[in-house]
Amino acid sequence: MKKCNIFPSTAKRVCMRTDPKINAEIRNQTIRNINIYKNGTEADIVDRINKLNQEWDTERVLGVNAALLIILSSYLGIRTSRIWFLLTGTVAVFMLQHAFWGWCPLMPVVRKWGVRTADEIYNEKTALKLMRGDFKAAAATAEEAMTAVEKQ
Protein backbone atom coordinates (compact mmCIF):
# COMPACT_ATOMS: atom_id res chain seq x y z
CA MET A 1 0.00 0.00 0.00
CA LYS A 2 1.39 3.39 -1.03
CA LYS A 3 1.67 5.94 1.75
CA CYS A 4 0.04 9.28 0.95
CA ASN A 5 1.70 12.23 2.64
CA ILE A 6 -0.38 15.41 2.41
CA PHE A 7 2.29 17.52 4.12
CA PRO A 8 5.49 17.97 2.10
CA SER A 9 8.84 17.89 3.87
CA THR A 10 9.86 21.09 5.60
CA ALA A 11 12.99 21.39 3.46
CA LYS A 12 11.16 21.07 0.15
CA ARG A 13 7.69 22.54 0.74
CA VAL A 14 8.43 26.09 -0.44
CA CYS A 15 10.27 24.97 -3.59
CA MET A 16 7.49 22.51 -4.38
CA ARG A 17 4.96 25.36 -4.34
CA THR A 18 7.13 27.86 -6.25
CA ASP A 19 6.96 28.32 -10.01
CA PRO A 20 9.73 26.14 -11.52
CA LYS A 21 10.99 29.13 -13.53
CA ILE A 22 11.51 31.12 -10.34
CA ASN A 23 13.24 28.14 -8.69
CA ALA A 24 15.54 27.92 -11.73
CA GLU A 25 16.27 31.68 -11.59
CA ILE A 26 17.17 31.45 -7.91
CA ARG A 27 19.39 28.41 -8.51
CA ASN A 28 21.11 30.08 -11.47
CA GLN A 29 21.74 33.21 -9.39
CA THR A 30 23.27 31.01 -6.71
CA ILE A 31 25.58 29.45 -9.29
CA ARG A 32 26.57 32.93 -10.52
CA ASN A 33 27.31 33.91 -6.90
CA ILE A 34 29.52 30.86 -6.47
CA ASN A 35 31.33 31.53 -9.74
CA ILE A 36 32.29 34.99 -8.50
CA TYR A 37 34.27 33.35 -5.70
CA LYS A 38 35.60 30.37 -7.66
CA ASN A 39 39.06 31.88 -8.00
CA GLY A 40 38.80 34.20 -5.03
CA THR A 41 40.94 34.21 -1.96
CA GLU A 42 39.99 32.34 1.18
CA ALA A 43 39.23 35.71 2.83
CA ASP A 44 36.76 36.53 0.03
CA ILE A 45 35.00 33.19 0.51
CA VAL A 46 34.88 33.65 4.28
CA ASP A 47 33.39 37.11 3.77
CA ARG A 48 30.72 35.69 1.43
CA ILE A 49 29.88 32.90 3.89
CA ASN A 50 29.52 35.48 6.66
CA LYS A 51 27.15 37.49 4.45
CA LEU A 52 25.15 34.34 3.74
CA ASN A 53 24.85 33.76 7.49
CA GLN A 54 23.10 37.16 7.69
CA GLU A 55 20.79 36.62 4.69
CA TRP A 56 17.09 36.51 5.49
CA ASP A 57 15.30 33.39 4.29
CA THR A 58 11.66 32.95 3.28
CA GLU A 59 10.58 31.96 6.79
CA ARG A 60 12.05 35.08 8.35
CA VAL A 61 10.59 37.40 5.71
CA LEU A 62 7.13 35.86 6.06
CA GLY A 63 7.33 35.84 9.84
CA VAL A 64 8.24 39.52 10.04
CA ASN A 65 5.53 40.49 7.55
CA ALA A 66 2.92 38.44 9.40
CA ALA A 67 3.94 39.86 12.77
CA LEU A 68 3.77 43.43 11.48
CA LEU A 69 0.32 42.84 9.96
CA ILE A 70 -0.95 41.21 13.14
CA ILE A 71 0.36 44.06 15.32
CA LEU A 72 -1.09 46.70 13.00
CA SER A 73 -4.47 45.02 12.56
CA SER A 74 -4.75 44.29 16.29
CA TYR A 75 -3.96 47.91 17.11
CA LEU A 76 -6.51 49.13 14.56
CA GLY A 77 -9.04 46.61 15.90
CA ILE A 78 -8.64 47.98 19.41
CA ARG A 79 -8.50 51.66 18.43
CA THR A 80 -10.92 51.94 15.50
CA SER A 81 -13.13 49.05 14.49
CA ARG A 82 -13.32 45.37 15.37
CA ILE A 83 -13.49 44.59 11.65
CA TRP A 84 -9.67 44.83 11.64
CA PHE A 85 -9.54 41.62 13.65
CA LEU A 86 -10.59 39.83 10.46
CA LEU A 87 -7.20 40.74 9.01
CA THR A 88 -5.50 39.41 12.14
CA GLY A 89 -7.33 36.09 11.73
CA THR A 90 -6.67 35.95 8.00
CA VAL A 91 -2.93 36.41 8.50
CA ALA A 92 -2.96 33.63 11.10
CA VAL A 93 -4.75 31.29 8.69
CA PHE A 94 -2.26 32.10 5.93
CA MET A 95 0.69 31.42 8.25
CA LEU A 96 -0.85 28.09 9.25
CA GLN A 97 -1.34 27.27 5.57
CA HIS A 98 2.30 28.12 4.93
CA ALA A 99 3.45 25.96 7.86
CA PHE A 100 1.60 22.95 6.49
CA TRP A 101 2.01 23.29 2.74
CA GLY A 102 4.73 25.88 2.13
CA TRP A 103 2.46 28.34 0.40
CA CYS A 104 0.62 31.51 1.32
CA PRO A 105 -0.51 34.46 -0.83
CA LEU A 106 2.70 36.41 -0.17
CA MET A 107 5.04 33.52 -1.01
CA PRO A 108 5.04 33.92 -4.82
CA VAL A 109 5.97 37.59 -4.37
CA VAL A 110 8.71 36.79 -1.86
CA ARG A 111 10.17 34.13 -4.16
CA LYS A 112 9.96 36.44 -7.17
CA TRP A 113 12.02 38.96 -5.15
CA GLY A 114 14.68 36.21 -5.00
CA VAL A 115 14.32 35.44 -1.30
CA ARG A 116 15.74 31.97 -0.78
CA THR A 117 14.87 29.18 1.59
CA ALA A 118 17.26 28.32 4.40
CA ASP A 119 18.28 25.20 2.46
CA GLU A 120 19.09 27.23 -0.66
CA ILE A 121 21.29 29.55 1.38
CA TYR A 122 22.93 26.56 3.07
CA ASN A 123 23.58 24.98 -0.32
CA GLU A 124 25.51 28.05 -1.48
CA LYS A 125 27.57 28.06 1.72
CA THR A 126 28.36 24.37 1.37
CA ALA A 127 29.27 24.77 -2.31
CA LEU A 128 31.66 27.60 -1.40
CA LYS A 129 33.23 25.45 1.30
CA LEU A 130 33.53 22.57 -1.16
CA MET A 131 35.22 24.80 -3.74
CA ARG A 132 37.50 26.21 -1.04
CA GLY A 133 38.66 22.66 -0.36
CA ASP A 134 37.03 22.07 3.02
CA PHE A 135 36.01 18.58 1.89
CA LYS A 136 38.08 15.75 0.46
CA ALA A 137 36.73 15.99 -3.09
CA ALA A 138 36.74 19.55 -4.42
CA ALA A 139 34.41 20.44 -7.27
CA ALA A 140 35.85 21.87 -10.46
CA THR A 141 32.84 24.06 -11.34
CA ALA A 142 30.05 25.86 -9.53
CA GLU A 143 27.54 23.56 -11.25
CA GLU A 144 29.31 20.45 -9.90
CA ALA A 145 29.47 21.99 -6.44
CA MET A 146 25.73 22.78 -6.43
CA THR A 147 24.88 19.31 -7.71
CA ALA A 148 26.99 17.71 -4.99
CA VAL A 149 25.40 19.85 -2.29
CA GLU A 150 21.85 19.22 -3.52
CA LYS A 151 22.21 15.42 -3.43
CA GLN A 152 20.29 13.76 -0.60
Q: What is the pLDDT of residue 140?
A: 76
Q: At a CB cut-off of 8 Å and minimum separation 6, what does 123 contact?
A: 30, 146, 149, 150
What is the CA angle 124-129-134, rounded to 5?
160
Please give the C-alpha separations between residue 119 and each of 26, 40, 90, in angstroms, as whole numbers: 12, 24, 28
Closest CA to 114 of 1, 22, 42, 21: 22
Q: What is the pLDDT of residue 48?
A: 95
Q: What is the pLDDT of residue 152?
A: 41
Sign of torsion, CA 138 139 141 143? negative
Q: What single letter denotes the amino acid at residue 152?
A: Q
Give average pLDDT by consecutive 10-residue segment, the chain, 152 residues: 67 88 96 91 92 96 96 97 96 93 92 96 92 74 77 49
Domain ranges of the chain: 11-33+43-55+116-152, 56-102
pTM of the predicted protein model: 0.82
Q: What is the pLDDT of residue 142?
A: 85
